[in-house]
Amino acid sequence: MNINLVCPIIVLDNESNSNIRKNDIKTFKILVSKNDKSLVNLKLTEPKDIKTSLKSKIKEIIGSNNFHLEQVYTLGEEKYYIDNAVDIIYLAVTNIEHIKKLSTDYLLVDLKLENNSIKFSENTYSFKTIEKIKNNNIEYVHKINTDDIVIEKKLLEIIIAYKYLRARIDYSDIIFKFMGDTFTLEDVRIVYELIKEKTTDKSNFRKKIIKYCEEVSIESSKKGYRPSKIYRFKVLNGDVWL
């Protein structure tokens, strides 16, 4: 049995809103191969440092090491042993401004999870998450509406990584890994709500994240009726943000 590292790389895109009184439009993209729209993956052919190897491959693809990478899950169901390989799923997140020189073998396509549907590139698929009790533990099974096992496996790995991300933003600083070099507090809140699929109180949210934000001297005057303060991420070792 072979081991394959699979890494959904989720990228925050930022489109200027034609209405200057509105916030910029933030959407997610995902990095796939031009050939068959497969996720970034790395086959392990010899013993090595797994995370370091995957980091090196991602750096080659985006021309930068400015991204965040975490191990998520091992896909151990027998039906997904395609090509006699077990997939170890990682998640990488970054901002589009950190992609300095995208490899010609890859491209960014649309990604959106909302209301039990996943938009991947030009297509949208429905899915449902089922709770199952096994050995006195709750397991979550994602049923995707497709008859193509290759597509099903790819979408499942994206959903698993995305659900992991959705949980992580409530007890880690991973949301800041989506930000550019500088950002507004509103940028962070919008991305949080996009991932969580729910609104949050602006004042309370600001109180929770401000300790991770270091104000810089410049101000943004593009949006709203007064300039927005600009921040950069401040690392707090041994702390959690919520």
* Domain residue spans of the chain: 2-168, 180-233
Q: What is the pLDDT of residues 49-74, one digit of tens each?
A: 899 999 999 999 999 999 999 999 99
d(CA 30, CA 11): 6
Is pLDDT at 119 greater than 80 in this prediction?
yes
Amino acid at 220: S
What's the pLDDT score for residue 242?
47
Classify each residue of 108-125 as buried b or exposed e, where b means 16 or more C-beta atoms within 10 Å of its C-beta. beebebeeeebebeeeeb
DSSP for residue 38 = P
The 3-state DSSP class for residue 223 equals coil
Q: What is the pLDDT confidence band of residue 9, given thresholds at 50, 70 and 90? A: very high
What's the pLDDT score for residue 153?
97
Answer yes or no: CATH 1.10.10.10 is held by domain 180-233: yes
Closest CA to 158 of 72, 69, 84, 78: 72
Assigned architecture for domain 2-168? Alpha-Beta Complex (3.90)
Q: How many residues does the chain have?
A: 242
Stretch 102-115: mean pLDDT, rounded? 96
Q: What is the pLDDT of residues 132-185, one digit of tens each?
A: 887 788 888 899 999 999 999 999 999 999 999 999 999 889 999 999 999 999
Token pair in block for residue 181: 């070099």
Q: What is the pLDDT of residues 13-44, one digit of tens each?
A: 987 656 555 667 899 999 999 999 999 999 98
Domain 2-168 and domain 180-233 have a common topology: no
Token pair in block for residue 81: 């042993």
What are the respective helix, strand and coil percentages of the chain, to the nearest 5?
A: 30, 40, 30
